[in-house]
Amino acid sequence: MLHGLARFNGVAVLPDGRVVFASAHGGLCVLDLCGLTVKTLDGNWAASDFAVAVLPDGSVVSASEDSTLRVWDLASGQTVKTLEGHAAEVNAVAVLPDGRVVSGSSDCTLRVWDLALGETVKILEGHSVSVNAVAVLRDGRVVSASGDHTLRVWELASGRSLACLTLDAPSEAVAVLPGGPSWLRWTDWVASSTTSAWRRAILVRWPEAQGTWSLYPGTKGT
């Protein structure tokens, strides 16, 4: 357990086993496995960072309260690129298999970014409330969790929402778990946490062939 640290909103693991945290006070903090601070990356702006993800080249991208994403070089500790386009705070970020980045925002949209261009290449619309979390399925499709009580699966080439699962509470987080054997035609299990009178997790399966959700016993949804 790490003591005496500022509040952190997001975390990612670097290829060398170190951990990078997104700080509620803005910027990032890199820690080694003993919990010792290795480097602090300060963007010098008064905005919280909500999420962080690791890029294929070992640099990282953060999602910020100021409606931007920032790409950081860990060796220098400097911001090397700022991505602008969202109209509200950016709550989530994930890296696609091809190196592009997908983000989710309180402006109710997801955006796909080409980092080489530093531009949005696709806007995904369909949620009616804040997009709180995003995760990437193994086939490159994306699942999002929203305050509108839904999880959605997106096909990025068309920007189309392939499926929508309605939950009984706003969804705060989403993660992709390892799937079953390939001969069972599973693509992924998806876990999400919701807010209600208590916090709980749900577990659903996203089958490749049928394009429908399979609810784990005890999960509420439609």
User: Distance between CA atoms of 172 and 145, rounded to whole angstroms?
Assistant: 6
Q: What is the pLDDT of residue 76?
A: 86
Q: What CATH number is associated with residue 37?
A: 2.130.10.10
| Structural domain boundaries, residue 158 | 130-222
The whole-number pLDDT of residue 110 equals: 98
Looking at the structure, do residues 91 and 146 belong to the same domain, yes or no?
A: no
pLDDT of residue 22: 81
Type of residue found at 32 = D
pLDDT of residue 182: 36
Indicate the residue among 107, 125, 143 that finishes a domain.
Answer: 125
Kindly state whether residues 104 and 72 are assigned to the same domain: yes
Chunked mean pLDDT (size 10), the chain, 222 residues: 58 86 76 71 65 92 91 88 95 95 97 96 96 90 91 92 85 74 40 52 56 53 47
Q: What is the distance between the alpha carbons of residues 93 and 16, in angstroms, rounded to a whole number?
A: 21
Note whether 38 and 121 are same-domain residues. yes
pLDDT at 186: 36
Last residue of a domain, one of 96, 125, 154: 125
Q: Are 6 and 114 part of one and the same domain?
A: yes
pLDDT of the residue at 168: 78
**In total, how many domains does the chain have?**
2
- For the chain, counts of helices (H) and of strands (E): 0, 20
Q: What three-state secondary structure class fits 61? A: strand
